[in-house]
C-alpha cells in the first residue's frame, strides 16, 4: 500500500470513533476488514495487509481489480459526458448492446443498474408480452427452491429462500416456487395464468447447484408445450464466469429472456436484460425505464469489459482455469471426510462440507485469503478470470490448511 492510501485510511479510521454509532443502517453483517485498494487478484486493507481475492466482489470484478483498459475508458469518458437522459439517442448503448448480442442468441437489450433491476425488467416484460401483445391473462412466474433473484419486492418474492422474505409481507402475488429437479411439481404448478419459468443454470447463492441437463430439457419442453417464456437469471453465472459467455450456452438452449449484471462492467454498477426480437413490441415507449440505466459512464465500462473479454477469449480461459482449480481441490482435499463434494462450472466452484463453514471463511481471512459461503455448509470460490496457476495453487493450499485446522479444533471441542 502506498503511503497516501495508508494515510487516508488512518484519517478515515480516526474520524469514526468506535464509541460513535454508525450513520449506516445495520443491514449488512460485515467482516472486520476495511479494504482500501485492489489490483488484479489482490486486495489490501487499511492496515497494509494483502489478501488473495477468491470472491471478486461476488463475481463482479471478473477482469480483476482496476483493469487497465476499463479504467482508461472510464477516465476518457469522465472528460466527455457523465449523464444525459434516455430521452435522447444513446450511441454507446447501441454499441454495448451490439457487443452483447454478438455473443448470444438474444436480439434486444435493456440496460439498468443491477441484477435485481434486470430480473424485475424480465418479469415485467413477460407479463406485458402476454397481456398487451397476446391478449392473454397470464402473469404467474414459476421459480425454484434455493434460487436467488434479487431484493426488490418482486424479485425477493421470486426467490426460493424464505430468509430474504421475512418481514416484508404482504408479498406480491403471481409467483410459484417448486423444488428443483421435481418434474411432477413443476407440471402441477403450470396453470392458465402461467407466463414464464425462471431459473438459474447454477444456483450460486443457493449452494452452487448446477441444473441437470435432463431437467433443463424438461423445462424447455414444458415451455414449448404450454406456450410459456423461459427466463434465465445469469446475474452471477454470466459474463464468462462458467466457461461460456452465458451459462445457458452449456445446455444448448436459447432462452426467450435472460439477465446479466455483476461482471458486465468490471465493478461499475450496471445490469442488462436481453430478449428475443419478437418481444420488442411488448416494451414500447414509456412502458419501462431507468434514469441511470445505460449512462455514458456505465456503457463505457461495459464496452471496455466486453472488448477485453473478446480480445483475450476470457470465457475459454475461465473454462481451462476452472478445470485446473477443481482438479487441484480434488487432489489436495482428497481424504478429508469433512469435504463432501466439489462442484460447479468454470470459475464458479462450490465445496460442500459436512458442517457449517462460516468459521473456515474467517480462518481464510486470517490467512490472507478471501472467499465466501453459498449457504451454511458450502464454500464458494469466485476468482477473477485472469487468475494464475500460482494463485490457484496458493489458494488451494490455504483452503486445505484452514479446513484441516477446523476439523482438528472441532475434535478437541467435542
Q: What was the pLDDT predicted at 276? A: 98
408's grid cell = 482438528
* Residue 294 and residue 284 in contact, taking contact as beta carbons nearer than 8 Å: no
Distance separating alpha carbons of residues 132 and 305, to the nearest angstrom: 36
98 C-beta neighbours (distance < 10 Å), count: 12
- Across the range 351-358, mean pLDDT stands at 98
Whether residue 350 is predicted with pLDDT greater than 50 in this model: the reply is: yes
Distance (Å, whole) CA 131 – CA 140 = 12
Domain check: are 115 and 219 in the same one?
yes
**Residue percentage of the chain with pLDDT more than 90:** 94
CATH code, domain with 51: 3.90.1150.10
Instruction: Output the pLDDT for position 341.
Output: 98
The residues, ordered by sequence, that sit 6+ positions from 65 with a Cβ below 8 Å of its Cβ are: 38, 39, 40, 41, 42, 43, 53, 267, 384
Per-residue confidence (pLDDT) for residue 7, from 0 to 100: 53
Cβ(59)–Cβ(52) under 8 Å? no
Arithmetic mean of pLDDT over the chain: 95
Residue 28 in this model has a pLDDT that exceeds 70: yes
In the prediction, which pLDDT does 412 show? Answer: 83
Residues 209 and 128 in one domain: yes
Note whether 120 and 196 are same-domain residues: yes
Question: How far is the C-alpha of 196 from the C-alpha of 121, rounded, in Å?
Answer: 13
Residue that finishes a domain, picked among 291, 311, 331: 311
pLDDT band per the 50, 70, 90 thresholds, residue 13: low
Based on the domain organization, do 231 and 318 belong to the same domain? no
Q: For residues 317 and 239, what is the distance between their CA atoms, to the nearest angstrom? A: 12
Last residue of a domain, one of 288, 311, 334: 311
Cα–Cα distance list, 223 to 81, 105, 291 (Å)? 43, 18, 33
10 Å CB burial of residue 408 (0-12, 13-18, 19+) is: exposed
301/325 same-domain check: no
pLDDT of 10 reads 55
Q: What is the pLDDT of residues 267-300, one digit of tens each?
A: 999 999 999 999 999 999 999 999 999 999 999 9
From 311, 332, 353, the end of a domain falls on 311
The structural domain count of the chain equals 2
Band of residue 411 on the pLDDT scale cut at 50, 70, 90: confident
Whether 87 contacts 75, CB under 8 Å = no
Q: Is residue 203's pLDDT more than 80?
A: yes
Q: Would you tell me how many other CB atoms lie within 10 Å of the CB of residue 180?
A: 21
CATH number for 94:
3.40.640.10
Query: pTM of the prediction?
Result: 0.94
Span 328-345, mean pLDDT? 97
Does the pLDDT at position 16 exceed 70?
A: no
For the cut 80, the answer to whether the pLDDT of residue 250 exceeds it is yes
- Report CA-CA distances (Å) from 383 to 199, 325, 391, 409: 24, 10, 9, 28
Instruction: Label residues 229-243 b or e (16+ Cβ within 10 Å = b).
Output: bbbbbbbbbbbbbbb
Q: Which domain holds residue 405?
A: 3-60+314-413
| Cα–Cα distance measured from residue 35 to residue 45, given in angstroms and rounded to the nearest whole number | 4
Selection from 150, 169, 167 nearest residue 159 by Cα = 150
Residue by residue, what is the 3-state secondary structure of 141-152? EEEECCCCCCCC
- Candidate from 15-24, 47-56, 168-177, 304-313 with smallest mean pLDDT: 15-24
* Residue 295 and residue 86 in contact, taking contact as beta carbons nearer than 8 Å: no
The answer to whether residues 339 and 403 touch, using CB atoms and an 8 Å cutoff, is yes
Q: Report how far Cα 290 is from the mean position of its chain's Cα atoms.
A: 20
Residues 135 and 197 occupy one common structural domain: yes
Q: Measuring CA to CA, which residue among 380, 303, 327, 294 is closest to residue 99? A: 303
- Say yes or no: 277 and 384 in one domain: no
Helix ranges (H only) for 1-89 are: 3-15, 56-59, 68-78
Q: For residue range 377-395, list pLDDT tens digits in order.
A: 999 999 999 999 999 999 9
Question: Residue 414's pLDDT band (boundaries 50, 70, 90)?
Answer: confident
Residues 39 and 124 in one domain: no
Give the pLDDT confidence score for residue 8 in this predicted structure: 53
Domain check: are 116 and 130 in the same one?
A: yes
259 shares its domain with 171: yes
Cα separation, 401 vs 257, in Å, equals: 43
Provide mean pLDDT across the span 253-263: 98
Is residue 165 within 8 Å of 152, Cβ to Cβ?
Answer: no
Dihedral sign from CA coordinates of 333, 338, 343, 347: negative
Please determine, for residue 5, whether its predicted confidence score (pLDDT) is greater than 60. no
Please tell me whether residues 75 and 19 are part of one structural domain.
Answer: no
- Listed in sequence order, the residues at least 6 apart from 68 whose beta carbon sits closer than 8 Å to its beta carbon are none
Same-domain check for residues 325 and 293: no
Amino acid at each position: 500500500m502506498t503511503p497516501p492510501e495508508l494515510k487516508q485510511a488512518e484519517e478515515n479510521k480516526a474520524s469514526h470513533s468506535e464509541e460513535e454509532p454508525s450513520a449506516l443502517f445495520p443491514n449488512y453483517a460485515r467482516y472486520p476488514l476495511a479494504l482500501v485498494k485492489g489490483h488484479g487478484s489482490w486486495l489490501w486493507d487499511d492496515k497494509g495487509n494483502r489478501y488473495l481475492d477468491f470472491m471478486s466482489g461476488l463475481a463482479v470484478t471478473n477482469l480483476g481489480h482496476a483493469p487497465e483498459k476499463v479504467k482508461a475508458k472510464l477516465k476518457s469518458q469522465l472528460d466527455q459526458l457523465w449523464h444525459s437522459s434516455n430521452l435522447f439517442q444513446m450511441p454507446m448503448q447501441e454499441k454495448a448492446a451490439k457487443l452483447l448480442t454478438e455473443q448470444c442468441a438474444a436480439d434486444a437489450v435493456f440496460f439498468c443498474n443491477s441484477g435485481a433491476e434486470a430480473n424485475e425488467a424480465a418479469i415485467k416484460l413477460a407479463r406485458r408480452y402476454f397481456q398487451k401483445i397476446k391478449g392473454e391473462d397470464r402473469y404467474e412466474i414459476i421459480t425454484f427452491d434455493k434460487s436467488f433473484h434479487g431484493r426488490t419486492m418482486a424479485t425477493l418474492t421470486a426467490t426460493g429462500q424464505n430468509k430474504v422474505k421475512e418481514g416484508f409481507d404482504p408479498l406480491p402475488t403471481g409467483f410459484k416456487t417448486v423444488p428443483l429437479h421435481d418434474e411432477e411439481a413443476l407440471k402441477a404448478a403450470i396453470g392458465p395464468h402461467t407466463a414464464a419459468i425462471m431459473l438459474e443454470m447454477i444456483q450460486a447463492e443457493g449452494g452452487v447447484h448446477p441444473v441437470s441437463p435432463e431437467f433443463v430439457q424438461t423445462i424447455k419442453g414444458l415451455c414449448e408445450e404450454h406456450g410459456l417464456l423461459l427466463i434465465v437469471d445469469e446475474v452471477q453465472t454470466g459474463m464468462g464466469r462458467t466457461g461460456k459467455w452465458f451459462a445457458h450456452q452449456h445446455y444448448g438452449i436459447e432462452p426467450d429472456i435472460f439477465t446479466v449484471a455483476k461482471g458486465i462492467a468490471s465493478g461499475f454498477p450496471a445490469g442488462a436484460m436481453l430478449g428475443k426480437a419478437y418481444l420488442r413490441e411488448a416494451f414500447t415507449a414509456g412502458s419501462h425505464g431507468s434514469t441511470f440505466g445505460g449512462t455514458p459512464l456505465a456503457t463505457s465500462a461495459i464496452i471496455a469489459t466486453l472488448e477485453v473479454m473478446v480480445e483475450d477469449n476470457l470465457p475459454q480461459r475461465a473454462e481451462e482455469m476452472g478445470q485446473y482449480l477443481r482438479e487441484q481441490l480434488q487432489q489436495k482435499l482428497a481424504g478429508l471426510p469433512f469435504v463432501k463434494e466439489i462442484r460447479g462450472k468454470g470459475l464458479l466452484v462450490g465445496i460442500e462440507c459436512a458442517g457449517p463453514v462460516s468459521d473456515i471463511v474467517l480462518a481464510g481471512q486470517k490467512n490472507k485469503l478471501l472467499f465466501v459461503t453459498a449457504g451454511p455448509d458450502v464454500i464458494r470460490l469466485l476468482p477473477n478470470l485472469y487468475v494464475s496457476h500460482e494463485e490457484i495453487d496458493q489458494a488451494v493450499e490455504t483452503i486445505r490448511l484452514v479446513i484441516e485446522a477446523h476439523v482438528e479444533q472441532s475434535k478437541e471441542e467435542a
